[in-house]
Amino acid sequence: MLKKCTLESFREGFLSPTGEFYSCEYGEHMEVADEIAAALYPDKYFYTPEEELRKQGWAIIKRYMPFRKYFIAFDGHLTSEQIHVIRPVAEAHPDEIADFAKWVIEYELKR
């Protein structure tokens, strides 16, 4: 079941181009990507929903391992709405996000 919520601290999930966050647990990205694709894009079939959501402008927040820091995966650029959601969380919890993700946020702000 999709869990739409606010992003107050880093957690795994999907951030829509309009800044809506859908959370998931570590290892649930593929299942949640399927749910998002089915709910929001019912007329499209995505062979790889997670990859296709990125192509649709979604950002994915996840970790390679549960004990690692978070990173942000996206295609192209983050939208201003996505930056508006991510930036305060990154500033409030700098130890939870990977250094590269911090650089990406700063880069996107200067665009």
CA distances to 3, 28, 41, 100, 105 from 10, in Å: 15, 16, 26, 15, 14
pLDDT tier at 104 (50, 70, 90 boundaries)?
confident
Average pLDDT, integer, range 25-31: 83
Q: What is the pLDDT of residue 73?
A: 87
CB 46 within 8 A of CB 39: no
